[in-house]
């Protein structure tokens, strides 16, 4: 059936659905095992940062929204706050911290929660806090998704081409009248002011749906003559939409049926949210292909990486597991061709802008009004940001921890692999839904 069985080439990648499914059958068990290992299961995050864009008061109080944290004493000494804070001190050991104001390292595409001394930084065992249905919905989640998609407006792309829609046009597609609030929002967005008035536009579900559908159509290109110029923007959109789809798939796959009081897959939820929108399904495979290329590229760096789990045996076990997993991703090394992006005279400026937008998404995640959704939203933004950093900030030969130590923080590596695992679980869940759908359609 067409609903969940897409065929052919995945747009903006170098591979088709079939090759992704073949790789998936080889890597799924391996990545599952990896994310349950000591190095990959513990994550540090600041879950209580204030939303910098609007007043977020709608906090989900369901039990399923809360995150179970762990005491840092169960972690190896090298991963605890004290050890990490010590690394942040200057080499002379004084409290002089020249880069304290600097939230991002230059190469980073996202904000890693690096204020280690903050009280709201917690440690989490990810295996104990699965991303699944929590009941978080309504205007609060709608506003966050909208704000994230709004970051799709690229100044440089707009300056470079007449064919790509301008942000103002995107905001007003389908309407001949200019909505002054949306126009102001578009301008604010272009000027990168954090207090976008868009955040305060009352959310009408139909309007939100229309806005995002229009954005999807626009990101898909319409006019092929501008494809080259718009590639970066399309990639941005596909990553966000792929993340959105993947989250929806987990919600539908681990759905809580309140009436029956049981957890299980909900086929209608999947068909409505994903199956009946081929481009949303395609964006899951697109993001999977990009992540796969990133984990493959970081493989040699991890060969010599110091895992510091507190036991040399565990370190070695982790290294072998990672190598075994990476080997399986070798079969299709060019799932995504990063060299096709950021070319031409404006490449550097465009890359900077791409980074800025992605960093803003990290900040928007602090506005998610459900603790568990916030955790996974933040982790996956760091994961995708790390993938972009691997692909676009370093050439293969610089990815060597002996020559270039500290290119990646532990949290970035953990986030990258856990994000890949989330997408791998999504592709596995699609298989389940495909079978459920075929079963439902077969004559009894």
Main-chain dihedrals φ then ψ at residue 408, nearest 5 degrees: -130, 140
Minimum distance, C-beta of residue 110 to ligand FAD, in the bound complex (Å)? 13
CB of 196 to ligand FAD, least distance (A): 16
Judged by CB under 6 A, which of 153, 171, 216, 292 binds ligand FAD?
216
Q: In this complex, which beta carbon is closest to ligand FAD, that of residue 146 or of residue 297?
A: 146
Contact between 247 and ligand FAD per CB under 6 A: yes
For position 267 contacting ligand FAD by CB under 6 A, the verdict is no
Residues 6+ positions from 337 with CB-CB distance below 8 Å:
14
Q: How many helices (H) and strands (E) does the chain have?
A: 15, 5
> Which is closer to ligand FAD, CB of 145 or CB of 263?
145
Residues in region 227-246 near ligand FAD by CB under 6 A: 241, 244-245
Q: Tell me how crowded residue 41 is: count the other CB atoms within 10 A of its CB.
A: 16
Q: Is 153 a catalytic residue?
A: no
Give min distance, CB of 334 to ligand FAD, in A: 25
The CB-of-325 to ligand FAD minimum distance in angstroms stands at 25
**CB 325 within 8 Å of CB 31:** yes
Q: Which of residues 269-288 bind ligand FAD (CB under 6 A)?
A: 273, 280
Compare residues 229 and 251 and give the one whose CB is closer to ligand FAD: 251
376, 392, 417, 437: which one contacts ligand FAD (CB under 6 A)? Answer: 376
- Say which residues have a Cβ less than 8 Å from residue 320's Cβ, sequence separation at least 6: none
Q: Concatenated DSSP letters for 293-328?
A: HHHHHHHHHHHT-----S-HHHHHHHHHHHHHHHHH
Pick the closer one to ligand FAD by CB: 75 or 284: 284
**φ, ψ at 69 (rounded to 5°):** -100, 170
CB-wise, 158 or 372, nearer to ligand FAD?
A: 372
Q: How many C-beta atoms lie closer than 10 Å to residue 15's C-beta?
A: 20
Q: What character string, x for contact with ligand FAD (CB under 6 A) and - otherwise, covers 194-213?
A: --------------xx--xx
Please identify which residue in 368, 384, 387, 407 interacts with ligand FAD, judged by CB under 6 A.
368
- Choice among 4, 164, 167, 373 that is catalytic: 373
Site for ligand FAD in 298-357 (CB under 6 A): none
Q: Rounded to an integer, what distance in angstroms lies between the CA atom of residue 148 and that of residue 360?
A: 8
The residues near 248 (Cβ < 8 Å, ≥ 6 apart) are 269, 273, 274, 280
367 is catalytic: no
> Could you give the residue ranges of the DSSP H alpha helices within 14-78?
17-35, 38-41
How far is residue 339 from each of residues 263, 328, 385, 416, measured CA to CA in Å? 43, 22, 17, 20
266 contributes a contact to ligand FAD by CB under 6 A? no
Neighbours of 99 (CB within 10 A): 9
What single-letter DSSP state applies at residue 209?
A: H
The C-alpha R_g of the chain, in whole angstroms, comes to 22
Pairing of strands 262-264, 69-70: unpaired
137 binds ligand FAD (CB under 6 A): yes
Span near ligand FAD by CB under 6 A; candidates 89-97, 134-142, 257-265, 345-353: 134-142
For residues 282 and 318, which CB has a smaller minimum distance to ligand FAD in the complex?
282
Whole-number minimum distance, CB 164 to ligand FAD, in Å?
Answer: 19
Q: Which of 125, 145, 179, 428 binds ligand FAD (CB under 6 A)?
A: 145
Note whether 67 and 124 are within 8 A (CB): yes
Q: Which stretch binds ligand FAD (CB under 6 A): 5-13, 33-41, 130-138, 152-160?
A: 130-138
Rounded least distance, CB 47 to ligand FAD, Å: 13
Coil, helix or strand at residue 123: strand
Query: Any contact of residue 377 with ligand FAD (CB under 6 A)?
Result: yes
Residue that the structure tokens 């906090």 belong to: 59
Binding site for ligand FAD (CB under 6 A): 131, 133-137, 141-142, 144-145, 208-209, 212-213, 216, 241, 244-245, 247-248, 251, 273, 280, 368, 372-373, 376-377
Which residues are annotated as catalytic? Answer: 370, 373
């Amino acid at each position: 059936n067409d609903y969940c069985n897409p065929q052919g080439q995945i747009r903006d990648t170098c591979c088709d659905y079939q090759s992704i499914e073949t790789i998936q059958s080889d890597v799924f068990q391996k990545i599952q095992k990896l994310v349950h290992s000591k190095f990959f299961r513990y994550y540090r995050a600041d879950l209580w940062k204030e939303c910098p864009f609007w007043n977020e008061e709608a906090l989900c109080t369901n039990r399923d929204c809360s995150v179970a944290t762990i005491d840092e004493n169960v972690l190896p000494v090298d991963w605890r706050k004290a050890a990490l804070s010590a690394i942040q001190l200057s080499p002379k050991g004084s409290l002089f911290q020249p880069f304290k104001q600097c939230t991002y390292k230059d190469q980073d595409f996202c904000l890693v929660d690096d204020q280690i001394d903050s009280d709201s930084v917690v440690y989490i065992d990810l295996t104990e806090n699965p991303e699944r249905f929590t009941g978080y919905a309504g205007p609060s989640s709608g506003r966050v998704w909208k704000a994230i998609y709004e970051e799709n407006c690229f100044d440089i792309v707009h300056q470079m081409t007449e064919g790509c829609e301008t942000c103002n046009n995107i905001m007003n597609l389908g309407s001949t009248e200019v909505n002054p609030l949306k126009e102001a929002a578009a301008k604010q967005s272009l000027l990168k002011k954090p207090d976008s008035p868009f955040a305060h536009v009352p959310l009408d579900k139909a309007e939100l749906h229309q806005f995002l559908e229009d954005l999807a159509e626009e990101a898909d290109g319409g006019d092929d003559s501008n494809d080259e110029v718009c590639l970066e923007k399309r990639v941005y959109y596909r990553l966000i939409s792929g993340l959105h789809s993947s989250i929806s798939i987990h919600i539908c796959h681990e759905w809580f049926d309140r009436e029956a009081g049981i957890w299980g897959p909900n086929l209608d939820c999947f068909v409505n949210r994903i199956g009946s929108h081929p481009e949303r399904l395609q964006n899951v495979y697109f993001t999977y292909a990009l992540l796969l290329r990133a984990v493959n590229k970081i493989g040699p760096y991890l060969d010599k990486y110091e895992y510091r789990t507190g036991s040399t045996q565990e370190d070695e076990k982790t290294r072998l597991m990672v190598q075994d997993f990476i080997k399986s991703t070798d079969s299709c090394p060019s799932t995504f061709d990063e060299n096709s992006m950021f070319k031409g005279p404006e490449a550097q400026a465009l890359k900077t802008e791409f980074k800025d937008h992605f960093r803003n998404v990290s900040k928007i995640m602090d506005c998610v009004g459900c603790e568990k959704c916030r955790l996974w939203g933040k982790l996956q933004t760091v994961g995708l940001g790390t993938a972009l950093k691997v692909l676009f900030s370093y050439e293969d030969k610089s990815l060597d921890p002996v020559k270039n130590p500290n290119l990646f923080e532990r949290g970035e590596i953990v986030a990258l692999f856990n994000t890949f695992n989330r997408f791998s679980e999504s592709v596995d869940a699609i298989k389940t839904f495909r079978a459920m759908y075929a079963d439902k359609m077969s004559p009894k």
